[in-house]
């Protein structure tokens, strides 16, 4: 396993254990993890499999943020 693979695995674990549960209560916001993933992409040494894993995580972060936003709106009664 390469260093890049280890970083992807670490971010995957962190996203799924913190942001995935409650994006609003996460210690590190989704934007932090998104920046780390973009830095990996910018390294220029990403294989197709690594790119797919990073892309999937970015989509997961988008989904978590959207759900968190919807929950905040619902709790306030906004539409």
d(CA 34, CA 40): 10
CA–CA separation, 22 and 52 (whole Å):
24
Residue 71: count of CB within 10 angstroms of its CB = 13
Per-residue pLDDT at 2 = 92
Among 71, 53, 70, smallest CA distance to 15 is for 53
Please tell me the predicted confidence (pLDDT) of residue 20. Answer: 56
pLDDT band at 64 (very low <50, low <70, confident <90, very high): confident
Terminal Cα distance for the chain, rounded: 46
Model confidence pLDDT, tens digit, residues 6-49: 999 999 999 888 765 655 566 788 889 999 999 999 998 899 99
Both tokens of residue 74? 């619902």
> Does position 75 have pLDDT exceeding 60, yes or no?
yes
pLDDT value of position 78: 61
């Amino acid at each position: 396993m390469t260093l890049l693979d280890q970083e992807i695995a670490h971010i995957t674990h962190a996203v799924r254990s913190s942001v995935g549960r409650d994006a609003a209560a996460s210690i590190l916001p989704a934007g932090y993890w998104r920046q780390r993933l973009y830095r990996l992409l910018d390294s220029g040494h990403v294989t197709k499999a690594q790119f797919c894993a990073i892309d999937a995580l970015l989509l997961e972060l988008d989904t978590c943020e959207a759900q968190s936003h919807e929950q905040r709106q619902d709790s306030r009664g906004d539409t």
